[in-house]
Structure 1
Amino acid sequence: MAKRLELRFETGEGKTKVIGIDQPLENLDPLVVQSAMEQIIGQDMFEVEGIKQFTKIKDARYVTRTVEDIIEEA
Structure 2
Amino acid sequence: MAKTLEMLFTNEDGKSATVSIESPTEPVDSAAVSAAMDTILAANVFITTGGDLVSKRGARVVERNVLPVEII
Count of aligned pairs: 71
TM-score after normalising by structure 1: 0.84
1:65 is aligned to 2:38: no
| Pairing 1:9-28 to 2, within 5 Å after superposition | 9-28=9-28
State the identity %: 32
Deviates more, 1:24-33 or 1:43-52: 43-52
Pairwise CA distance, 1:50: 8.2
Aligned-partner residue type, residue 17 of structure 1: A
Quote the offset at 1:48 in angstroms.
4.7
Pairwise CA RMSD of aligned residues? 1.8
Cα deviation code 1:8-57 (max 9, x no counterpart): 100000101101111111112211110110000001233356821x1100
